[in-house]
Amino acid sequence: MNIHEYQGKELLKKYGVAIQEGIVVDSADKVVEASKELREQTGTDWIVVKAQIHAGGRGKGTVVGTDYNGVMLGKSPEDAAEKAKQLLGNVLVTHQTGEEGKKVNKVLLAQDVYYKGESEIKEFYVAVLLDRDKNCNVIMASREGGMDIEEVAESNPDAIIKEWIDPKLGLQPFQAQKVAFALGLKGKALKEMTKFIKSLYAAYIGIDASQVEINPAFKTSDDRVLAVDSKIDLDDNAFYRHKDLAALRDESEESPLEVEASQFGLNYVKLDGNVGCMVNGAGLAMATMDMIKLAGGEPANFLDVGGGASAETVEKGFRIILKDPNVKAILINIFGGIVRCDRVANGVVEAYKNIGKIDVPIIVRLQGTNAEEGAEIIKGSGLNVISATVLKEAADRVKEVLAN
Ligand code: GDP
Ligand code: MN
């Protein structure tokens, strides 16, 4: 689960990571007062106005229909309020949001840490994440901070420093220092960066994150190292021991259909295509999506109704698929193991009865336990259903209905 920059910074601070301080607000009316408070707390003159959305690239993004971007400098509390007004309630498009952009509901007013007139600005990239190939955590760092790290990885992979952490030993102090040294730091800055990396790693472990990315980690002219940005991905499987972290969820950042699906315990991911699919088992769901693509369609979603799906869950899943206006056909692909095909068929028919009119064609492939009973139920329901036996055939039917 992703969280906002301001939430991430608050968590990091608890673990001793030095941050660019700020105050978050949800309305332009509060900006002048909050900016004055920030000036008092931090001694800052200018105020950095930062859109809070679950996407990066804000500094280079644009507010739809304007020349404003997602990170701006307010030279006075009034100027900050003017800039916040351009963000709040409006849509920000960045290279990570897709062209539909994201609505800004909150802005972070942050202290300006880039001292004016400074010739040497030092932005670093520092992240901790899980290396799935090496089965351990890795610290990644680069002197090319402030830039898109994927770009750096492509054009100049040697510029990325990696330090792998033995899961039994944890981060050893010398490793943090080694990374800081490799970043070219000396003296006080080296010590500060070493401390920064140690605290960042402690935070990563403490909050059960799957990724903590600081871009930029900023070295001030007096050699302190601060987190100017934070991108944190929390592992929701660990929420049973972090009730406070689960509460950081911002549902307005998520696709409404995904939020609804999660309430029913469905594994649903919204995609951009036109073929809705309902499958049991994640592996079969992936294979089904591949078949849809091979047949020339694009999956509208990933949906795994799970091994123990009841008629009710199937109905819920079916309704969610139908709420997506892009869906032009639905492919139901069930292999009856623990879940019986007749149950799935009942779920589909129930949903159909309760929803009333369904315009899109439905291709159904039921195999395994009680497949024949399932087929009978669907045949007798009056649904506009096309049956298929093998997966390839189902995909071909999808192709045909899309062509019509
Ligand atoms: P992102 O574009 O979404 O990654 O947002 P960041 O938080 O990384 O900020 C983007 C850019 O804003 C930074 O790379 C800086 O150039 C600029 N910026 C952020 N904080 C400050 C600050 O305190 N002072 C100044 N002058 N610029 C800042
Ligand atoms: Mn950034």
Last residue of a domain, one of 64, 96, 111: 111
Residue 16 lies inside a defined structural domain of this protein: no
Q: Cα dist. 354→73, 84, 164, 347, 350 in Å?
A: 54, 46, 54, 11, 6
267 with 217, same domain: the answer is no
In our burial notation (b when 16+ CB lie closer than 10 A, e otherwise), range 157-167 reads eeebbebebee
70 with 169, same domain: the answer is no
Beta-carbon contacts of residue 189 (< 8 Å; ≥ 6 apart) = 219, 223, 225
Provide the 3-class DSSP secondary structure of residue 342.
Answer: helix
105 with 123, same domain: the answer is no
List 6, 68, 125, 204, catalytic entry: 125
Residue 273 lies inside a defined structural domain of this protein: yes
Q: What is the pLDDT of residue 289?
A: 93
Q: Is the pLDDT of residue 119 over 60?
A: no
pLDDT, averaged across the chain: 91
259 with 398, same domain: the answer is yes
Q: What is the pLDDT of residue 200?
A: 98
133 with 221, same domain: the answer is yes
Separation CA 255–CA 143 (nearest Å)? 35
147 with 93, same domain: the answer is no
Of 68-77, 88-97, 146-155, give the lowest mean pLDDT range.
146-155
Residue 63 lies inside a defined structural domain of this protein: yes
State the CATH number of the domain containing residue 152. Answer: 3.30.470.20
Which structure tokens are listed for 265? Answer: 């315990």
CA 264 / ligand 1 centre spacing (Å)? 39
49 with 122, same domain: the answer is no
Q: Is the pLDDT of residue 396 over 80?
A: yes
157 with 51, same domain: the answer is no
Last residue of a domain, one of 66, 96, 111: 111
CA 113 / ligand 1 centre spacing (Å)? 9
The answer to whether residue 213 is catalytic is: yes
pTM of the model: 0.82
Provide the 3-class DSSP secondary structure of residue 120.
Answer: coil
Residue 2 lies inside a defined structural domain of this protein: no
351 with 391, same domain: the answer is yes
Closest residue (by CA) to atom 14 of ligand 1?
Answer: 146
Q: What is the pLDDT of residue 116?
A: 62
List 163, 213, 253, 315, catalytic entry: 213
189 with 288, same domain: the answer is no
Q: What is the pLDDT of residue 157?
A: 87
State the CATH number of the domain containing residue 348. Answer: 3.40.50.261
State the CATH number of the domain containing residue 105. Answer: 3.30.1490.20
The count of structural domains within the chain is: 3
Using a pLDDT cut of 90, give the percent of the chain over it: 63
Q: What is the pLDDT of residue 265?
A: 84
Question: Which of 21, 39, 96, 114 has most ligand 1 atoms within 8 Å of its beta carbon, as the pocket-test mutant?
Answer: 114
**How confident is the model over 257-274, as a mean pLDDT?**
90
Ligand 1 binding pocket (C-beta < 6 A) is 20, 48, 50, 56-59, 71, 73, 112-114, 146, 215-216, 228-229
Q: What is the pLDDT of residue 178?
A: 98
Kindly report, residue by residue over 335-378, the tens digit of the pLDDT: 888 788 888 888 888 888 887 778 888 898 989 889 889 888 88
59 is in an annotated binding site: yes
Q: Is the pLDDT of residue 132 over 90?
A: yes
282 with 324, same domain: the answer is yes
Domain range spanning residue 148?
A: 118-245
8 Å CB contact between 324 and 301: yes
280 is in an annotated binding site: yes
In our burial notation (b when 16+ CB lie closer than 10 A, e otherwise), range 74-111 reads beebebbbebbbbbbebbbbbeebeeebbbbbbbbbbb
Residue, of 352 and 319, whose pLDDT is higher? 319
400 is in an annotated binding site: no
264 with 340, same domain: the answer is yes
254 is in an annotated binding site: no
Q: What is the pLDDT of residue 101?
A: 92
**How confident is the model over 113-118, as a mean pLDDT?**
72
CA 112 / ligand 2 centre spacing (Å)? 15
Kindly report, residue by residue over 212-237, the tens digit of the pLDDT: 999 999 999 889 999 999 999 999 99
CA 58 / ligand 2 centre spacing (Å)? 8
Last residue of a domain, one of 111, 145, 160: 111
Sort strands 362-368 and 385-387 into parallel, antiparallel or unpaired: parallel
